[in-house]
């Protein structure tokens, strides 16, 4: 799936004041807890490869909080391939507390100034802070216009992060001294969208917050004096925390560390949840557990769903010796293996992914050409076979079209039957997933006024030039994840958005026919239509 990408991921670590030493920090020491950040960021690199960064807190330094960030992978930004350079950098940014970020841009330019965390310098310690966030604001343009109504205010970037920077700054402006929870409570009333946020100020105070609907994931763990948080549980598990100590932060809740005191509080309440279902289907590391649901088991369950529907009306005789199941690497493997097991058909690695082909989704151009170099079909596996090709989802279909051609021509497959472990994507995401407009999506042009049917799937297959195409129905998602559909954000497969501004942007997208030339065109048009 080179057509769908997440915006970013966040981490945080804090060695609380204590005479005890954390076993996890034993190799770096309490005063160097920040050294753990690059290690954690590597585990969530799947969430963003464009840029990485870290802000650390050290009361003994003139720079009480200091930020290192740049364009590139975690290895590149922290120079991990060069031991002496990495050690020197980590020593320079050593501290008892730190926050970190990896980024893939859904908006904003691909330059260092957009890398996170964002740091705001100030003479007063409580106003000097740094933060990073994962998500996107559906009411970005409205907030931006409101800020710029004041002639003394200026915005230098086209990014949600700068909006949140100003919102945080305004909470601590003048003589105001709200607690971190109070500030978060006030800000949440103005934000429409998705966010998991990490914050650190020059007093050494930390805030970790998750949006009230829980759209974006956020996990945390605390053992003895060491606290850590991350977008995904795998970063905490690999750090050394016991599985039973790792929890998902409840939506609308925040963790604060003020004057060394650890506390969890609710800052906003909503009557429902709206966890992004794509975290389990595609985005999250397969080793992660989010909101008590295993990513691996959820993908396995999706494969069982595929098998159940296929068994009812198979496109290939299930006892045909030429039938095989092939996953599109890598996140389709769990679903493909489960489907193959249930149907009694061999699962084979018929496609090999080139892990060194570069960050093609970041480069953003020549999608079709890059898709040709991303996967290599194995003719020894595919030749003469009737292939069930299992994919996570189909967005624009560009990658799938190229892949099918290569499997036929280079792989020598006799038949290809595409099975998608997800319903058709019919609507854009306004909560942090880099997704096309409705007009650019593959499925909507076939659906128009009709519901999905075998006839429509056959037309899609003919367009892609494969022998058959089948999607999972919407109801399969909730069954596989084991969450009620009312607790999931499924806007991109249903057109039903969990927030007011998300719904408004979708209606605008439908009204304009998806005719947008930039990531923020929706919002610009919406303001012009409603002001």
| 219: its two tokens | 């996990």
Helices (H), 375-468: 379-382, 398-409, 444-447, 454-464
**Gyration radius of the chain over CA positions:** 24
Burial 395-405 (b: 16+ CB within 10 A, else e): bbbbbbbbbbb
Q: Please report the pLDDT score of residue 78 as a whole number.
A: 97
Q: Please report the pLDDT score of residue 7 as a whole number.
A: 64
pLDDT of 436 over the 90 cut: no
Instruction: Assign 70 to helix, strand or coil.
Output: strand
Q: Please report the pLDDT score of residue 323 as a whole number.
A: 98
Instruction: Assign 393 to helix, strand or coil.
Output: coil
Q: Please report the pLDDT score of residue 108 as a whole number.
A: 47
Q: Mean pLDDT over all residues of the chain?
A: 90
Cα 96 to the center of its chain, rounded Å: 27
**Active-site residue flag, 219:** no
| 79: its two tokens | 């120079």
DSSP symbols for 72-136 = S-HHHHTTTTSHHHHHHHHHHT--SEEEEEEE--SSS-SSGGG-S-EEE--SSGGG-EEEEEEEE
pLDDT in tens, 221-252: 999 999 999 999 999 999 999 999 999 999 99
Domains contained in the chain, CATH given: 5-271 (3.60.20.10), 294-498 (3.40.50.2020)
pLDDT band at 9 (very low <50, low <70, confident <90, very high): very high
What percentage of the chain carries pLDDT values higher than 70? 91
| 419: its two tokens | 């099975």
Q: Could you tell me if 325 and 336 are in contact, meaning their C-beta atoms sit under 8 angstroms apart?
A: yes
Q: Please report the pLDDT score of residue 359 as a whole number.
A: 40
Q: Please report the pLDDT score of residue 520 as a whole number.
A: 43
> What phi, psi does 316 have (nearest 5°)?
-130, 140
Residues 6+ apart with CB under 8 A from 408: 416
Q: Please report the pLDDT score of residue 502 as a whole number.
A: 96
Q: Please report the pLDDT score of residue 362 as a whole number.
A: 36
| 477: its two tokens | 């998602």
Q: Please report the pLDDT score of residue 514 as a whole number.
A: 58
Distance, CA of 275 to CA of 194 (rounded, Å): 10
404-407: long-range contacts at Cβ-Cβ below 8 A with a sequence spacing of 24 or more? 404/464, 404/465, 404/466, 405/465, 406/372, 406/375, 406/377, 407/350, 407/351, 407/377, 407/382
Select from 334, 21, 341, 64 the least CA-distant residue to 205.
Answer: 64
DSSP state, residue 283 = I
Q: Could you tell me if 94 and 56 are in contact, meaning their C-beta atoms sit under 8 angstroms apart?
A: yes
- The catalytically annotated residue of 8, 219, 422, 466 is 8
pLDDT in tens, 77-92: 999 999 999 999 999 9
pLDDT in tens, 325-377: 999 998 899 999 999 999 999 999 999 988 765 444 334 445 566 667 789 99
**Quick one: angle between helices 521-530 and 500-512, nearest 10?**
90
Mean pLDDT, rounded, for 112-139? 93
Select from 239, 208, 220, 257 the least CA-distant residue to 28.
Answer: 239
pLDDT in tens, 17-70: 998 889 999 889 999 999 999 999 999 999 988 899 999 999 999 999 999 999
Instruction: Assign 229 to helix, strand or coil.
Output: strand
Distance, CA of 4 to CA of 392 (rounded, Å): 10
What percentage of the chain carries pLDDT values higher than 90? 77
pLDDT of 459 over the 50 cut: yes
Q: Could you tell me which residue, 213 or 157, shows the higher pLDDT? A: 213
pLDDT in tens, 493-530: 999 999 999 999 999 998 886 554 334 444 443 333 32
Q: Could you tell me if 387 and 413 are in contact, meaning their C-beta atoms sit under 8 angstroms apart?
A: yes
pLDDT band at 263 (very low <50, low <70, confident <90, very high): very high
Return the percent helix, strand and coil in the chain, to nearest 5: 35, 20, 40
Q: Please report the pLDDT score of residue 114 as a whole number.
A: 84
Distance, CA of 521 to CA of 513 (rounded, Å): 12
Instruction: Assign 397 to helix, strand or coil.
Output: coil
Q: Please report the pLDDT score of residue 80 as a whole number.
A: 96
Q: pTM (2 decimals)?
A: 0.92
The position carrying tokens 């060069």 is 82
Which residues pair with residue 393 across a beta bridge? none
7: left (phi over 0), alpha (psi -120 to 50) or beta: alpha
Distance, CA of 398 to CA of 337 (rounded, Å): 25
pLDDT of 214 over the 50 cut: yes
Sign for the pseudo-dihedral over CA of 285, 288, 293, 294: positive
Q: Could you tell me which residue, 108 or 318, shows the higher pLDDT? A: 318
């Amino acid at each position: 799936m080179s057509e769908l990408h997440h915006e970013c991921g966040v981490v945080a670590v804090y060695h609380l004041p204590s005479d005890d030493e954390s076993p996890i920090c034993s190799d770096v020491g309490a005063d160097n807890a920040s050294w753990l950040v690059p290690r954690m960021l590597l585990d969530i690199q799947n969430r963003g490869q464009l840029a990485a960064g870290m802000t650390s807190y050290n009361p003994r330094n003139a720079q009480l909080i200091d930020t290192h960030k740049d364009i590139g992978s975690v290895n590149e930004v922290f120079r991990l391939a060069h031991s002496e350079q990495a050690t020197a950098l980590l020593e320079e940014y050593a501290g008892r507390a730190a926050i970190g970020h990896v980024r893939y841009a859904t908006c904003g330019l691909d330059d260092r100034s957009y890398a996170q965390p964002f740091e705001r310098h100030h003479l007063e310690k409580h106003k000097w802070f740094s933060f990073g966030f994962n998500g996107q604001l559906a009411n970005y343009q409205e907030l931006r216009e409101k800020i710029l109504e004041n002639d003394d205010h200026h915005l230098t970037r086209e990014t949600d992060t700068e909006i949140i920077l100003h919102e945080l700054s305004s909470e601590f402006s003048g003589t105001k001294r709200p607690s971190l929870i109070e500030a978060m409570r006030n800000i949440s009333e103005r934000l429409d969208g998705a966010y998991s946020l990490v914050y650190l100020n020059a007093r050494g105070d930390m805030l970790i917050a998750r949006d009230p609907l829980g759209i974006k994931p956020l996990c945390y763990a605390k053992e003895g004096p060491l606290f850590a948080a991350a977008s995904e549980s795998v970063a905490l598990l690999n750090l050394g925390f016991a599985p039973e100590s790792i929890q998902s932060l409840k939506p609308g809740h925040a963790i604060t560390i003020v004057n060394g005191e650890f506390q969890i509080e609710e800052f906003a309440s909503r009557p429902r949840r709206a966890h992004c279902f794509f975290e389990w289907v595609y985005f999250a590391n397969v080793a992660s557990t989010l909101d008590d649901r295993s990513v691996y088991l959820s993908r396995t369950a999706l494969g069982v769903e595929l098998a159940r529907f296929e068994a009812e009306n198979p496109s290939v005789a299930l006892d045909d010796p030429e039938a095989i199941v092939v996953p599109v690497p890598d996140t389709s493997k769990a679903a493909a293996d489960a489907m193959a097991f249930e149907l009694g058909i061999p699962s084979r690695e018929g496609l090999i992914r080139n892990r060194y082909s570069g960050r093609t989704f970041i480069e953003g151009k020549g999608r079709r050409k890059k898709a040709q170099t991303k996967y290599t079909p194995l003719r020894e596996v595919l030749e003469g076979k009737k292939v069930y090709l299992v994919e996570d989802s189909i967005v624009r279909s560009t990658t799938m079209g190229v892949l099918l051609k290569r499997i036929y021509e280079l792989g020598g497959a006799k038949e290809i039957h595409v099975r998608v472990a997800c319903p058709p994507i019919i609507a854009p995401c306004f909560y942090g997933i880099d997704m096309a407009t409705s007009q650019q999506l593959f499925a909507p042009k076939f659906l128009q006024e009709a519901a999905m049917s075998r006839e429509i799937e056959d037309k899609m297959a003919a367009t892609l030039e494969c022998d058959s195409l089948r999607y999972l129905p919407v109801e399969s998602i909730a069954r596989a994840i084991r969450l009620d559909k009312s607790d999931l954000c499924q806007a991109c497969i249903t057109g039903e958005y969990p927030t007011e501004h998300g719904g408004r942007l979708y209606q605008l997208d439908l009204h304009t026919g998806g005719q947008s030339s930039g990531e923020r065109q929706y919002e610009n048009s919406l303001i012009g239509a409603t002001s």
